[in-house]
Amino acid sequence: MIKALLFTFVIAGACLADSPAATAGDVNPEEIIKKFAQKESSFLKARESYTYKQTVKLVELDADGNPNGGKYEIVEDVIFDRDGKRMEKVLRAPPNTLKNILLTPEDEQDLRNVQPFVLNAENIDKYIINYMGKQQVDEINCYLFAVRPKQMVKGERYFDGQIWVDDRDLQIVKTYGKGVGRQGRGGDNQFPKFETYREQIDGKYWFPTYTIANDTLHFKDSTQRIKMTVKYEDYKQFKSDVTIQYGEEVKDNGKPEDKKPEDPKPVP
C-alpha cells in the first residue's frame, strides 16, 4: 500500500464498534444473514460467467481539492481466452504520473476483492456482523449491517464498514468502508474510504458498477488528498454451468459475445 508515497484503494477510517444485533418487528437478523450469504455465493458464481470492462482512475489533489498533475489510469477488459480461462486485457494505460503516492500489491487485492465486496457463505465466518436497522438506498428498501473482521491473518485483506442488503433479493446493493489488514513493522500504508454501488444486471444479478473514494490519506510525515473511481461496465454473459438459486438457469452458449483477445494476460 501507499507509503509516504503510498496509497491504497480503500478507506483509512475508524473501525465500527461492536454492538449487539438489533431486532425489529418480524426481522430475524441471523436468518437474513444466512440467506444473503447463500445468495452472495450464487451471485459470485454468476459474475464469474460474465465479461466486463473495468476502468480505474486515481488522481492526486492539492489542499483545495484540485488535481496537481499526479494521475494513474488503466482500462481493462476482463474476458476469457479460447480455453475459457479468466483473463485481463489492457486497453489503455497512460504513463503513471503519481508524485506523492505509490500503488502496492495490497491496492490490487483491494481493487479485486475488497471494493467489490462479497460476503458469501465461504467467507462469512471471518466477520462479525451486526444488524443496524432498515434504510433506503435509491428508493430500495434495505437491511443495514455493520461488518468487521474477527481477526486478521498476515497477507490477507478484509473489509471493515457497512453493507446494505436489498430486502427483496437479499443481495448487497451498496458497501461503504475500507480495506484493512496486518501491516509489517514500520508500515505506513494508508487506505482511503470507498463507496461501491451495485446495479441489477439481466434482471436478477446485483453486480458492482461503480466505486468512488475521495479521501485524505494521513502518513507519518505527510498527508495526501486523493480521488479514485472504478467503473465496471458492459457486462456480457460468457458461459456458465451454474444454476442460480434465486433466478433462472444461466445457459451455456459455449462462446463469448465479443471477439476473443490475442494477447491477454492471466489474472493472478
Backbone φ/ψ region at 6: left (φ over 0), alpha (ψ -120 to 50), beta:
beta
Q: What is the pLDDT of residue 9?
A: 34
The predicted pLDDT at position 238 comes to 84
**CB neighbour list of residue 201: distance below 8 Å, 6 or more residues apart:** 50, 207, 235
Residue-level pLDDT at 243? 43
CA distances from 164 to 32, 37, 92, 197, 206 (A): 12, 13, 33, 10, 12
- Give me the residue label for grid cell 502518513: 219
Rounded Cα gap, residues 267 and 155, in angstroms: 18
Q: What is the pLDDT of residue 209?
A: 98
Q: Indicate the domain borders of the chain.
A: 2-14+21-236
Query: What's residue 37's pLDDT?
Result: 96
All residue ranges of the chain with pLDDT < 50 are 1-24, 240, 242-268
- Measured CA to CA, the distance from residue 176 to residue 196 in angstroms comes to 7
pLDDT in tens, 185-210: 666 789 999 999 999 999 888 999 99
Cα–Cα–Cα angle for 184, 193, 125, nearest 5°?
Answer: 65
